[in-house]
Amino acid sequence: MITKFTFNSQYILSELPSAERELLKKVMDDKKYRKNQPIFTEGTLPSGIFYLQSGKVKKYKMDNDGREQIIYIYNAGEFFGYSSVLSENTYGDTTIAIENSVISFITTKDFNEILKDSSSFSRLLLKSLSHEFSVLANLMAVLSQRTVRERIALNLLILHDKYKVDGVSNTYIMLSRSDLANMAGTVIETLARVLHDFKHDQLISTDGRKIQLLNIERLIKIANFY
């Protein structure tokens, strides 16, 4: 269910034949990004693609009136920025690190060279991109047709999945209210009110900014998805 709303480019690296994987790893250039540091900006020409080693990155679009819509939040192990390189266009959105992150960079040249010689790589990219397309279609339908309450419940479930850590039983969503509102396509005040209700109904608990989901079953019901 949640896979309808999460990218899965993680498998690209693992399913790539080891020769190509090594090639790719060799041309990766790692760089540390601090929280709130931009990675690339909408409208600029792509210089390469990115691979998130650790941390979290948000991809968003800003409109004329300064309203921000978060398109996606990337988690460790995901590639990003590659669709602009492939479509030979300027970046269609802006990405910034929302946690301290380590990000590998692969230049357009290196990327294209590996791609040219590797049908497995292009096949995996096609597969990944196709899935990402369907994720956006799903998000589109949700944003336009669901109530704020439903959208917030759904986004909490999506985030729970992203903030889950292997071997750790409790999951804490650590994201600003403003980012959460911009994911759900609402404003901070409305978000605060809905979270208040969810807390009152014991669906979630909060500790400062941290959110923990207490009743996933019921949140799924509220999100109105099966």
Partner DNA sequence: GTTGAAATTTGATTTAAATCAAATTTCAAA
Partner DNA sequence: TTTGAAATTTGATTTAAATCAAATTTCAAC
Interface residues toward DNA, by CB under 7 A:
147-149, 176-178, 185-193, 195-196, 206, 208-210
Q: How far apart are CA 193 and CA 201, in angstroms?
A: 12
Touching its own copies, residues 139-198 (CB under 8 A): 139-141, 143-146, 185
Closest to its own copies by CB, 108 vs 138, is 138
Q: Which is nearer to DNA, 82 or 146 (CB)?
A: 146
Q: How far is CA 103 from CA 20, 32, 37, 111, 180, in A?
A: 19, 6, 12, 15, 23
Stretch binding its own copies (CB under 8 A), from 21-29, 99-107, 122-130, 208-216: 122-130
Q: Decide: 212 and 173 in contact? Cβ < 8 Å.
A: yes
The interface partner of residue 216, options being its own copies, DNA, none and the CB cut-off 5 to 8 Å by kind, is none
C-alpha closest to that of 116 among 86, 96, 75, 79? 86
- Residue span binding its own copies (CB under 8 A) among the ranges 31-39, 118-126, 154-162, 209-217: 118-126
Residue 209 interacting entry, from its own copies, DNA, none, C-beta within 5 to 8 Å by type? DNA
Q: Give least dist CB 221 to its own copies, A.
A: 11
From the list its own copies, DNA, none, partner contacted by residue 26 (C-beta under 5 to 8 A by kind) = none
Q: Quick count: other Cβ atoms within 10 Å of Cβ 168?
A: 9
Given the complex with DNA, which of 47 and 206 has the nearer CB atom?
A: 206
CB of 11 to DNA, least distance (A): 33
For residue 61, how many other CB atoms are within 10 A of its CB? Answer: 14
Per CB under 8 A, the segment of 13-21, 26-34, 137-145, 162-170 that binds its own copies is 137-145
Please give the size of the binding site for its own copies, defined by CB under 8 A: 45
Please state the closest distance from residue 205 (CB atom) to its own copies, in A.
28
Residues 6+ positions from 38 with CB-CB distance below 8 Å: 94, 95, 96
**Contact status: 86 vs its own copies (CB under 8 A):** yes
Q: Judged by CB, which is closer to DNA: 149, or 160?
A: 149
